[in-house]
């Protein structure tokens, strides 16, 4: 089937779950039951919407950075830093050598695996991003910091997940092209390759809001031992229908991918996760068709730009439904 | 070079910290919940940061800009500008909304003023910051002006009107934040400065305040001579990008603003060794007046660490002044 649909990661947590787990009188056992319920609902929701590859909306994770850091000795949370507008994230200081306390993704993965009927893709925050979003007060340089996280934290987690049946693993590296210099990119590439070295699974790297439309990634894309890059595009695109370069300006950079001889899959971001306006199925169709004409329909997977947790659940659901409908329209074009 | 050739020990080394400061936990929570009392909470938050700056002895006091979404967003109120997509701010993990210029720029002059609580700083010597015209033009999008020159100068004229208002309201120093000049130069994307120089001159024209050009997010040692030609009252460098030792040979006939306290890392500067190193280098430089500041906005630090860093800036300044006067070894 052309254009498999996948979620990229997080959904906003249900209000009832947040209220419940905050309650001091609720036992840890009951909180875990509530999280299981929420995870189950998310899995079924994504499957019912029609996604082909699912996870649990990262419902057990407080956030993609803070959650893993909690399980790594060597970090101390320093406080909250603004990401944009009124969005913040907790940022940690690395003050000693990193040590993995326990595999923070194993139980959630086993639950999803046991309950999903569709293919499962587990998202994991990558080593470069964990280092880049932290304050380094311990390691001599960035490379040492990133590689320590790759070797001592992420790789052991990946090995154990694969041993327990994980077949598709998405390494989230939103920071990867933040520093586009060759030396920084090389550190990121080496770290990912270290995480996936000789492991039998499908690997995806997710990058978003790179600031340079992935041009920093292009020279290295084929050197990174993963099968797919899932990227954000819709945020920079117009909302007009059409297949010309100007209308589809958010996706024009794919021409450069082609020129670089890019031959891997693309997880094509077709939904802007930072606005409540819902795209039309025809707009999604045109974005897919434009990209497919450039890099080949068989290479395209369809997803939102990034996790939808910044939107209400109702908006997120509408957007995902439209994504599936638009994908069906695009399939018809290529049939 | 003659030792201590021109540094006048009778002129105090000064200090300030401009840009967006982090919000306190109270404000983080309130903004998350879109609390109805936000204007009042922002005012209290500003007062608190102003008090911190006073307490640690900074020479000039800045509005902490905690109610600015990003350094450009208030300018969305200008006629001809609308809000565009989310973009990463250079190599940080902080994002801004790119502004779209789709018509002639009009209706400006009091935009920045309206967002600064100058009434809370009536008795203070005041400093404020604006983006430099090149940074503004490069990080936002022109869909109206026929050429880049026309666009750049329209932005410069807008900033000039903003600077004039601030000057008329008693702001003594206006720092033009120029990360794009530094970043583009250090990445080989800045081919020549002539146009930028002209645009910055337009910003300064008729403004009574001192205008400083502050360069961060890139090493500008290679164009420092040319930067000294720009018609501003001071040039600033972020020492985590441009080492002070790399400009030690220049004869600096403007104020030199030194971004000495790193806002990108929680690791705290050691006051004595930093002041001693500064004293040693400045003693070998041909510069008349020095202002110490932070490497860039404090918003990249959590609140508690930002308070510590502002305090460290005050301590380094005091110790350096004591050293310059020979009061301490």
The answer, yes or no, to whether residue A305 has pLDDT greater than 70, is yes
Q: Is residue B6 part of a domain?
A: no
Instruction: Extract the runs of DSSP E, i.e. beta strands, from B183-285.
Output: 210-215, 234-238, 251-261
Q: Is residue B8 part of a domain?
A: no
CATH of the domain at B82: 3.20.20.210
Residue B193, domain extent: 14-324
Selecting from B31, B86, B187 the residue whose C-beta is nearest the C-beta of A235 gives: B86
Q: Is residue B329 part of a domain?
A: no
Smallest CA–CA distance from A87 into chain B, residue: B32
Chain A residues with CB under 8 Å of B100 CB are none
Q: Is residue B2 part of a domain?
A: no
pLDDT at B324: 85
The per-residue pLDDT for range B109-128, each reduced to its tens digit, is 999 999 999 999 999 999 99
Smallest CA–CA distance from B95 into chain A, residue: A84
Smallest CA–CA distance from A180 into chain B, residue: B91
Q: Which of B93, B184, B303 to mutate to test the interface with A (most CBs of A within 10 A)?
A: B93
The verdict on a CB contact (< 8 Å) between B95 and A136 is no
DSSP letters of A8-73? -S--PPPHHHHHHHH-TTS-HHHHHHHHHHHHHHHHHHHHHHT-SEE--TTTT-S-TTHHHHHTEE
Q: Which of B24, B27, B41, B91 to mutate to test the interface with A (most CBs of A within 10 A)?
A: B91
Average pLDDT, chain B: 94
pLDDT at B29: 94
CA distance A17 to A14: 5
Whole-prediction pTM: 0.89
Report how far apart, in Å, the C-alpha atoms of B139 and of each of B59, B72, B112, B176, B291 are.
Answer: 31, 9, 18, 15, 28
The answer, yes or no, to whether residue B5 has pLDDT greater than 60, is no
Count of helices and strands (H, E) across chain A: 11, 10
Compute the count of residue pairs across chains A and B with CB atoms less than 8 Å apart: 79
Band of residue B86 on the pLDDT scale cut at 50, 70, 90:
confident
Question: Where do we find the tokens 């045109």?
Answer: A286
Selecting from A86, A133, A178 the residue whose C-beta is nearest the C-beta of B31 gives: A86
User: HEC states along A208-274?
Assistant: CCCCCCCCCCHHHHHHCCCCEEEECCHHHCCCCCCCCCCCCHHHCCHHHHHHCCCCCEEEEECCCCC
The per-residue pLDDT for range B45-66, each reduced to its tens digit, is 999 999 999 999 999 999 999 9
The verdict on a CB contact (< 8 Å) between A79 and B303 is yes
Chain A residues with CB under 8 Å of B31 CB are 86
Set out the domains of chain A in order of their start, with CATH numbers: 15-60+100-334 (3.20.20.210)
The answer, yes or no, to whether residue A50 has pLDDT greater than 90, is yes
Q: Is residue B3 part of a domain?
A: no
The answer, yes or no, to whether residue B3 has pLDDT greater than 60, is no
Selecting from B69, B187, B265 the residue whose C-beta is nearest the C-beta of A135 gives: B265
The per-residue pLDDT for range A204-246, each reduced to its tens digit, is 999 998 767 788 899 999 999 999 999 999 999 999 999 999 9
Report how far apart, in Å, the C-alpha atoms of A168 and of each of A55, A113, A128, A196, B199 are.
Answer: 11, 12, 20, 12, 52
The verdict on a CB contact (< 8 Å) between B94 and A135 is no
Mean pLDDT over B239-246 rounds to: 95
Band of residue B327 on the pLDDT scale cut at 50, 70, 90:
confident
Query: Under 8 Å CB-to-CB from B250, ≥6 apart: which residues?
Result: B224, B225, B228, B285, B286
- B166: which 2 tokens? 């601030």
The verdict on a CB contact (< 8 Å) between A86 and B265 is no
The verdict on a CB contact (< 8 Å) between A135 and B93 is no
Chain A residues with CB under 8 Å of B299 CB are 81-82
- Residue among A251, A146, A269 nearest A207 (CA): A269
Split into its structural domains, chain B has a count of 1
The per-residue pLDDT for range A87-141, each reduced to its tens digit, is 999 999 999 999 999 999 999 999 999 999 999 999 999 999 999 999 999 999 9
Mean pLDDT over B243-254 rounds to: 94
The answer, yes or no, to whether residue A24 has pLDDT greater than 90, is no
Q: Which of B33, B38, B85 to mutate to test the interface with A (most CBs of A within 10 A)?
A: B85
């Amino acid at each position: 089937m052309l254009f498999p649909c996948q979620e990229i990661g997080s959904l906003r947590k249900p209000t009832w779950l947040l209220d419940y787990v905050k309650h001091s009188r609720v036992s840890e056992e009951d909180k875990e039951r509530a999280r299981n319920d929420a995870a189950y609902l998310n899995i079924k929701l994504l499957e019912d919407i029609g996604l082909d590859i699912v996870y649990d909306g990262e419902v057990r994770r407080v956030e993609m950075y803070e959650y893993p850091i909690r399980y790594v000795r060597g970090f101390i949370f320093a406080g909250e830093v603004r990401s944009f507008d009124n969005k913040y994230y907790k940022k940690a200081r690395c003050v000693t050598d990193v040590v993995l306390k326990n595999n923070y993704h194993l139980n959630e993965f086993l639950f999803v695996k046991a309950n999903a009927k569709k293919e499962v893709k587990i998202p994991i925050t990558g080593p470069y991003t964990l280092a880049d979003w932290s304050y380094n007060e311990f390691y001599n340089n960035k490379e040492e910091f990133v590689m320590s996280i790759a070797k001592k934290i992420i790789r052991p987690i990946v090995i154990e997940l694969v041993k327990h049946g994980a077949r598709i693993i998405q390494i989230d590296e939103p920071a990867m092209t933040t520093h586009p210099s060759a030396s920084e990119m090389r550190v990121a590439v080496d770290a990912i390759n270290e995480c996936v070295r000789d492991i039998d699974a499908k690997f995806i790297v997710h990058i978003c809001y790179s600031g340079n439309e992935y041009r920093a990634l292009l020279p290295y894309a084929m050197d990174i031992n993963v099968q797919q890059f899932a990227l954000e595009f819709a945020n920079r695109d117009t909302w007009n229908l059409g297949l010309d370069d100007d209308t589809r300006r958010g996706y024009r950079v794919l021409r450069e991918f082609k020129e670089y001889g890019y031959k891997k899959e693309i997880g094509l971001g077709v939904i802007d996760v930072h606005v409540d306006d819902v795209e039309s199925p025809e707009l999604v169709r045109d974005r897919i068709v434009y990209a497919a004409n450039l890099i080949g329909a068989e290479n395209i997977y369809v997803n939102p730009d990034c996790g939808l947790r910044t939107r209400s659940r109702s908006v997120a659901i509408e957007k995902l439904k439209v994504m599936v409908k638009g994908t069906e329209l695009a399939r018809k074009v290529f049939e | 070079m003659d030792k201590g050739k021109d540094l006048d020990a009778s002129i105090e080394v000064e200090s300030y910290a401009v840009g967006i400061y982090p919000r306190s936990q109270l404000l983080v929570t309130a903004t998350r919940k879109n609390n109805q009392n936000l204007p009042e909470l922002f005012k209290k938050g500003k007062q608190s940061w102003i008090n911190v700056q006073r307490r640690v002895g900074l020479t000039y006091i800045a509005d902490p800009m905690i109610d600015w979404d990003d350094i450009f967003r208030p300018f969305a109120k200008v006629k001809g500008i609308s809000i565009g997509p989310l973009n990463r701010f250079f190599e940080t993990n902080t994002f801004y909304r790119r502004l779209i210029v789709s018509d002639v720029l009009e209706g400006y002059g009091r935009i920045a003023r309206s967002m600064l609580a100058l009434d809370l700083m009536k008795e203070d010597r005041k400093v404020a910051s604006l983006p430099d015209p090149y940074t503004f033009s490069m990080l936002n999008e022109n869909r109206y002006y026929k050429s880049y020159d026309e666009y750049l100068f329209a932005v410069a004229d807008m900033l000039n009107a903003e600077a004039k208002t601030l000057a008329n309201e008693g702001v003594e120093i206006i720092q033009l934040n120029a990360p794009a000049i530094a970043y583009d130069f250090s990445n080989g994307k800045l081919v020549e400065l002539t146009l930028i120089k002209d645009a910055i001159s337009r910003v300064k024209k008729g403004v009574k305040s001192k205008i400083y050009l502050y360069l961060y997010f890139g090493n500008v040692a290679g164009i420092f001579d040319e930067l000294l030609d720009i018609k501003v009252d001071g040039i600033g460098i972020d020492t985590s990008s441009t080492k002070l030792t790399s400009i030690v040979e220049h004869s600096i006939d403007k104020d030199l603003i030194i971004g000495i306290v790193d806002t990108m890392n929680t690791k705290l500067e050691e006051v004595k060794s930093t002041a001693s190193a500064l004293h040693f280098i400045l003693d070998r430089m041909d510069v008349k007046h020095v202002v110490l500041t932070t490497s860039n906005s404090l918003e990249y630090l959590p609140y508690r660490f930002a308070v510590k860093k502002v305090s460290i800036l005050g301590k380094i300044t005091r110790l350096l002044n004591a050293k310059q006067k020979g009061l301490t070894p």
